Structure 1
Amino acid sequence: MKKVFMTLCAAFALGLFPAKAAPQTAGVARPKLVVGIVVDQMRWDYLYRYYDRYGEGGFKRLLSEGFNCENTQLDYVPTVTAIGHTCIYTGSVPSIHGIAGNDFIFRHTGKKTYCTDDETVSSVGCDNAAGKMSPRNLLVTTVGDELHLATNFRAKVISVSLKDRASILPGGHTADGAYWFDSKTGRWITSTYYRNELPAWLVKFNATDPARRLMEQDWNTLYPLDTYVQSTADDTPYETPFEKGGKATFPVRTSKLLKTDGYGVIRETPYGNTMTLQVASEALTNEELGQDDITDLLAVSLSSTDYVGHRFGPNAVETEDTYLRLDKDLAAFLNLLDEKVGAGNYTVFLTADHAAAHNVRFLADRKVPAGAWDAAAEEAALDSLVAADFHVEDGVQAVMNYQVFLNRAKLQAAGADFHEVKQAVIRHLRSHDEVMYAVDLEEAGTAPLPAPVRERVINGYNNKRSGDIQVVLNPGWYDAEDRGAQGTTHGVWCPYDAHIPLIFMGWGVRQGETTRAVRMTDIAATVSALLHMQMPSGCVGTPVSEALK
């Protein structure tokens, strides 16, 4: 008996009878699929502005079945698309994740770059440069990257959007597929960063010429025009017409615009969202997302709401109609998730990358303080100032992202005192009535700013990719870019740009709402907590614990 006992002990010591392995992924309760839906430029109040016109299966379903974070704010500036999508899926801010704008300047080289440009890769699905993109400028991991790491890369991560940056940045470094729309060819494409050819299902989808099919329908209102009482009259000076000298009124002859302006016009109609959800549906089905015990991720960004908003503004009939059509498309997509994955087997969250201001002329006509700032004109004025006072030509490299980028190389070559130049520019900016603050970004931590504004400035400042001076305009003011006083834009700290919707629904989510302060950085932290996995590497957010069961 003693010999048997000793033999067994030796066997265990040698690992001949290994102990039962600790449960891995199979032992962790997770949904089959997480779906992130980002509605580009969706103001929080759109949930309620058009509430009585929504059907039961779209926004209303999310509100009634999900957990609604009513007071979700962006916690950085500038509030633009690339940063918003990055923040949602990383839980991080520009000072850490490195995406300092849609465009930014590398300080060590002085080179201006688009956020996802990558000359080392090639287009897949088209013969032009639209696919020369990747996430290589992103310095941290995303929820999708962490899901791959947590599942030993058995999960699938797919991302789709009309905009390249709104597909690439949410997908992260390890996405199995990121797809976006090429306006020149009307096809959905990718880059060799991900794969060398399009998947068969996307080739088949492209072969149907989906943009043409939708645009040939033209765009008229879903309902009689006189029922759009939440919007201004159809013909107003606050909107940008498609055709020079024309009117921004219904019907919109998209079939004609297709012939004159090409496929890209679909971006500025609700059909762009319809097509994006069609691609998402094809990916859901053909990639077999949510069909096994390993959680998958589908990131969907709906960009047409942003293009429509920029062209027409928040008070236009076109904007209202776009959201009413999106509501129907969302309902159909949620029904497809129920059918393919099963109600209760997936978790979805809906949010926005930023919101938008009211049109400045619309506000001014109603005696509300507002105005249009011209960053290009300011850049020229500052350049002249530096040339006159310091004898340096082209001393200002750019004014963008509400920041001034000084040309360090030229200032240094001319022997100009960088600090003195910076202070002269700040004094000039502060002399403008519309400029509330002009802040030396290297001293933002001690700048005499209201705490919420200072925090956003600090979070948005990346010392290798941001400018030298932050411009904080008065509320109601924005950089009108090339649109003049038509349409709208976004980019500042104010609630109209920073207050976004955030709703979680489905597996592991309670029904309810909160009005406490939630930050965009909390989204990735909450999804990570839901999935019992590590947060992304630069995450500074906190889980919305009351939303989780």
Structure 2
Amino acid sequence: MRLLFLGIGFWVQAQPPKLVIGIVVDQMRADYLRRFVGPKSRGLGRLLQEGIVYWNCHYPYFPTYTGPGHASLYTGATPAYHGIVANDWWERALGRTWYCVEDTTVHPVGTDSPKGKRSPRTLLATTLADELRYACRFRNKTLGIALKDRSAILPIGRSGTLALWFDPQKGMWITSSYYRDSLPAWVVRFNAQRYPDSLLRVPWTLAKGHACSDESPYEGTLPTETSPTFPHQPKDYTALLYTPAGNWLTLELARHAIQAESLGRGPCPDFLSISLSSPDLVGHLFGTESCEIEDLYRKLDKDLADFLAYLSRRFKPGEVVLFLTADHGAAPTPEVLAQQGFSAGRYPEKELRARAEAFLRTTLSLPETTEVFAAFLNQNFYFSRRLSPGQRREAALRLKEWLLEQPNVLAAYTFAELAGPGSSTYTFSRVQAGYLPARSGDVVVIYAPGWIEGDYPTGTTHGSIWTYDTHVPLVWWGLLPWSRAVYQPVRITQVVPTLAFWLGVPLPSAATDAPLPEVLDAAFSP
């Protein structure tokens, strides 16, 4: 969308791009742009050479998980306002965990698996895709594609045309009746090609020229293997997603979607969200220092090169704009850091919960049979409903004091503090930005840098407020024939306001952040 000064006292606004594409690389740290991009790269390297690169982009809240990350990126808001406070949270009224895109009122489409019972109904705020649909009076299309259901569903909001995700039991792409009662014919044809079956016959081998070491006691193994070393031979669809094949499958489906749905050919701009989930699975299993993560990104670079080349052939300059980012980063493998003398480790959360419960029973003079916690997840303590409101308040204060005395605990906050006035301190402001009283816990604990949640015995994870989890790449492509680097700190919640102003559509309902001036300057410059 460019502005031309005609010399008669006003500006004339040209047409916006016909197609907006957002690519999220799940668990991609910002430093991966430098670590894994070779001098001849035409994928990530092309984006760096032809894009506006924000080298200091961060997620401004806790916890940094996949569900909140996708929701925050596309609503322009934090979990306190869009409601996706984690991938799973404790639903007090039901007395069980609730998955962020779970919906028992819909039925699977393309499968009989319960993985098809999904929708965006827990999302409280509108997304850019929603506002684009509204502004175009629902004449355009907005699609979400990802191996993970939440990564396909949340970006396109409640009015999305179609979300597609992968069923590892069937080896097929599926959706739910929230979107339609049957799969589009082109998806049926794509599934009939049985690409996953073909990919299962190809081992994942390590390319030459890597600087990594392919054997570490801190790496996990594929579900069907006993060794973490190359070559890897997945035996089922679940294991296949832990290889570069998952990225290829996702981008190939995206290319078919562009053609079959004629995206970018309608009366209003269309929107396509692509989330690449395999990097997250590989990072969790093998860790950030592994040969697997390095080789996966080298192969992803080639897949992105093919996808960018396809877009350049199909669209004219200015018809498509693309941005690439991540939903969160990842912590270095803690044992690797600890070996070098850093303070790092896997926090013993089961032990922490048991000790905290024993402490509160003693402090509050509760019977041994009294259930104190209903749940402890996402570093959130949820008190049992058997405690009275007064007991909850007292327990929260006592638990906070106790937690602050524990090793490698940096901060703890009660529900009364987080539901009250804000604060400019780094830790409190991040936790409060991700806190929604109805879905978050009664006390939130923050571990010291280097200490990760203890559910993963190997590899790594994410979720903290520290920069290894918050710092992500952000690259805009399709605006300039040259590159531009920006080093000032920016927030991921600035992406959507930028696109809203560029496309001339309303801001999403909870988006209050500022747009990125460098992008708008490039979009509106003569």
Q: TM-score, normalised by structure 1?
A: 0.89
CA positional deviation for 1:314: 0.6
- Which residue number corresponds to residue 519 of structure 2? 547
1:75 maps onto 2:56 in alignment? no
CA positional deviation for 1:245: 8.3
Which whole-Å CA distance do the structure 2 matches of 1:117 and 1:488 have between them? 26
CA positional deviation for 1:342: 2.7
| Alignment counterpart, residue 287 of structure 1, candidates 261, 269, 273 | 261
- Which residue number corresponds to residue 183 of structure 2? 198
Equivalent positions of 1:198-237 (< 5 A) are 198-221=183-206, 223-224=207-208, 227-229=209-211, 231=212, 233-237=213-217
Opposite residue 386 of structure 2, the aligned amino acid is K
CA positional deviation for 1:210: 1.6
- Which residue number corresponds to residue 332 of structure 1? 306
Change (3 A) 1:441 1:28: farther
Which whole-Å CA distance do the structure 2 matches of 1:380 and 1:192 have between them? 42
Opposite residue 221 of structure 2, the aligned amino acid is P
- Which residue number corresponds to residue 276 of structure 1? 250
- Which residue number corresponds to residue 241 of structure 1? 221
- Which residue number corresponds to residue 375 of structure 2? 398
Please tell me whether the aligned partners of residues 509 and 547 of structure 1 are also in contact (alpha carbons under 8 angstroms): no
- Which residue number corresponds to residue 135 of structure 1? 120
1:183 maps onto 2:168 in alignment? yes
Opposite residue 326 of structure 2, the aligned amino acid is A
| Alignment counterpart, residue 372 of structure 1, candidates 346, 350, 358 | 346
Which whole-Å CA distance do the structure 2 matches of 1:201 and 1:304 have between them? 24
SS at match of 1:521: helix
1:495 maps onto 2:480 in alignment? no
Equivalent positions of 1:150-161 (< 5 A) are 150-161=135-146
- Which residue number corresponds to residue 386 of structure 2? 410
- Which residue number corresponds to residue 18 of structure 1? none
Which whole-Å CA distance do the structure 2 matches of 1:274 and 1:119 have between them? 31
SS at match of 1:504: strand
- Which residue number corresponds to residue 35 of structure 2? 49
| Alignment counterpart, residue 157 of structure 2, candidates 150, 172, 176 | 172
Please tell me whether the aligned partners of residues 85 and 439 of structure 2 are also in contact (alpha carbons under 8 angstroms): yes
| Alignment counterpart, residue 321 of structure 1, candidates 285, 295, 304 | 295
SS at match of 1:70: strand
CA positional deviation for 1:182: 0.4
Single out whichever of 444-453 and 104-113 deviates more from structure 2.
Answer: 444-453
CA positional deviation for 1:220: 0.3
Please tell me whether the aligned partners of residues 54 and 327 of structure 1 are also in contact (alpha carbons under 8 angstroms): no
Change (3 A) 1:453 1:376: same
Single out whichever of 526-535 and 420-429 deviates more from structure 2.
Answer: 420-429
Which whole-Å CA distance do the structure 1 matches of 2:71 and 2:412 have between them? 26
Opposite residue 501 of structure 2, the aligned amino acid is A
Structure 1 segments unaligned to the other structure (5+ residues): 1-25
1:65 maps onto 2:31 in alignment? no
Please tell me whether the aligned partners of residues 28 and 532 of structure 1 are also in contact (alpha carbons under 8 angstroms): no
Larger radius of gyration: 1
CA positional deviation for 1:199: 0.4
SS at match of 1:137: coil
- Which residue number corresponds to residue 427 of structure 2? 453
Which whole-Å CA distance do the structure 2 matches of 1:309 and 1:364 have between them? 18
Opposite residue 228 of structure 1, the aligned amino acid is H
- Which residue number corresponds to residue 3 of structure 2? none
Which whole-Å CA distance do the structure 1 matches of 2:111 and 2:422 have between them? 51
Please tell me whether the aligned partners of residues 223 and 239 of structure 2 are also in contact (alpha carbons under 8 angstroms): no
1:530 maps onto 2:502 in alignment? yes
- Which residue number corresponds to residue 35 of structure 1? 21
SS at match of 1:68: strand
Which whole-Å CA distance do the structure 2 matches of 1:390 and 1:416 have between them? 13
1:303 maps onto 2:266 in alignment? no
CA positional deviation for 1:512: 1.1
Task: Among all aligned residue pairs of Structure 1 and Structure 2, give the percentage whose two residues are the same amino acid.
Answer: 38
Which whole-Å CA distance do the structure 2 matches of 1:279 and 1:39 have between them? 16
Which whole-Å CA distance do the structure 2 matches of 1:241 and 1:56 have between them? 29
| Alignment counterpart, residue 97 of structure 2, candidates 104, 112, 117 | 112
Please tell me whether the aligned partners of residues 140 and 267 of structure 2 are also in contact (alpha carbons under 8 angstroms): no
Please tell me whether the aligned partners of residues 478 and 490 of structure 1 are also in contact (alpha carbons under 8 angstroms): yes
Which whole-Å CA distance do the structure 2 matches of 1:36 and 1:102 have between them? 21
Opposite residue 186 of structure 1, the aligned amino acid is G
Cα deviation per residue 1:207-242 (whole Å; 9 max; x = unaligned)?
Answer: 111212112101001x22xx211x2x1011120122
Change (3 A) 1:239 1:374: same
CA positional deviation for 1:306: 0.1
CA positional deviation for 1:32: 0.8
Single out whichever of 369-378 and 501-510 deviates more from structure 2.
Answer: 501-510
Opposite residue 216 of structure 2, the aligned amino acid is T
Please tell me whether the aligned partners of residues 119 and 132 of structure 1 are also in contact (alpha carbons under 8 angstroms): yes
Change (3 A) 1:140 1:125: same
SS at match of 2:418: helix
Which whole-Å CA distance do the structure 2 matches of 1:477 and 1:240 have between them? 19
Opposite residue 357 of structure 2, the aligned amino acid is D
Change (3 A) 1:109 1:508: farther
Count of aligned pairs between the two proteins: 507
Cα deviation per residue 1:62-104 (whole Å; 9 max; x = unaligned)?
Answer: 1111101111010000000000000111001111001110001
SS at match of 1:334: helix
Change (3 A) 1:435 1:121: same
Please tell me whether the aligned partners of residues 139 and 267 of structure 2 are also in contact (alpha carbons under 8 angstroms): no
Please tell me whether the aligned partners of residues 224 and 239 of structure 2 are also in contact (alpha carbons under 8 angstroms): no
Please tell me whether the aligned partners of residues 123 and 129 of structure 1 are also in contact (alpha carbons under 8 angstroms): yes
CA positional deviation for 1:106: 3.3
Which whole-Å CA distance do the structure 1 matches of 2:15 and 2:314 have between them? 20
